[in-house]
Structure formats: C-alpha cells, structure tokens
Copies of this chain bind each other. A is one copy, B any other.
Amino acid sequence: MDNKEIQEKRMRGYFIEATREMLKGEGLKSINVRAVADRAGYSYATLYNYFKDIKELIFICVQGFQEEAETFINSKTKKSKPGIERISERTKAYIEYFTQYPGIFELFFLEKLNTLSGKQPTANLIFTFYDRITAEDWEYCVRENIFTRDEVASRTKILKYSITGILLMYMNRMHPESYKDFLADVDQLLETGLRTK
C-alpha cells in the first residue's frame, strides 16, 4: 500500500469515525453532510472526495457496528454454559446492545436499505447476524441430541423473527411501556423458543 492509499484510508477513517460517533450518540436523524464533516474537521465538500455520498458513509458503519456488537456479546457470555443457556444469554446481550444504541438498531432494521448503495450484501449481513451469533450453540444442541436439525431450523426462525419484532416495537417506544415489561416478554419468547417441546 503506497503513501497515497495510506493517506486516503486515513481520511476515510476520520469521516467514518465521526459518523459512527454520531450514530451511536444521537442516531440517524442527526447525521448530515455538514455535521459529519465538521466533526471530522473538514469542509462538507471534502467528504465527497472520499465517498460517493452520505449514504455510502452510513452504510460502511454497519459492518463495524456488527463487529462491535459481536465483541460485546462474546464478552458478556464468556462463562455461559454452551447450548440452550448460552443461546438465551447471547440473545439477551444482542438485545442489550441495541437498546443501548437505538440509533444502531434504527440503522440496521428501520433504514430502508433500498436507498443504500451496495444494498444486497449489507441486507444479508444484517439478516444473518442473529443466526451467526447463535449458530455455534444450535450446532451444540444438535450434537448433544437436544434438538433435531429440523427443530433447530424452526426454532431459530421463530426466535429471530419474534426478537426482531419485539425490538422494533419497543424501540419505537410503542410497547411494552417499561424496560422491565419488555425484558419479561423477551424472557417469555426465549422460554417458548428454547424450552418448550
């Protein structure tokens, strides 16, 4: 990588970091070309020397946040017992990450990806995220004859869809009204998805 590439990468990094901070802090609605460039220490026009448009910049952040979320989930479930118990705890950590950063949830699930460049790969990345987070433990369940492969396929889907749904409703502040009730519903979803026959 020659000097030019290094410098360009660095520049892109400044803008990406500024966008990340704003997404984590005030969320998507606070993002605009001038604010991001300001925070990065450059003029709004400079941004266009390094990115096609502001959407590209936002969309680049998705991957980084997934890595961050995964690290968070790993650190929270280091000592968990493999299998059902760890799926439950990793799911809760997954939820905790998003409730901590509503702007990131918004970016992942509410932003209509059609509008983002390079749509398809990102959409897939997001869609398969929960699967990747829990895959290892579902495998464990199959190996230990806790569930059949078919059961795993069906339970994964139910959990993925219902967890996404409850997050959506809670994040839009629709329901449940309190964090406590929200967590109780999450527990119930996990109970049904993991422990019932």
Contact = CB atoms under 8 A, between A and B. Distances in A.
A168 interface: yes
Contacts of A110: 110, 112
Interface size grouping (class) on chain A: 20 to 34
A75 interface: no
Given A154-B192, A162-B165, A174 B126 contact: yes
A187 B124 CA distance: 23
Contacts of A165: 160-166, 168
Contacts of A175: 123-124, 127
Contacts of A192: 154, 158
A188 interface: yes
Given A29-B112, A113-B174, A124-B174, 10 more contacts: A110-B110, A114-B172, A114-B173, A124-B175, A161-B166, A161-B189, A164-B168, A165-B165, A165-B168, A197-B197
9 contacts: A106-B112, A123-B174, A123-B175, A127-B169, A154-B192, A161-B163, A161-B169, A162-B162, A197-B197
Interface of A: 29, 106, 109-110, 112-115, 123-124, 126-127, 154, 157-158, 160-166, 168-169, 172-175, 185, 188-189, 192, 196-197
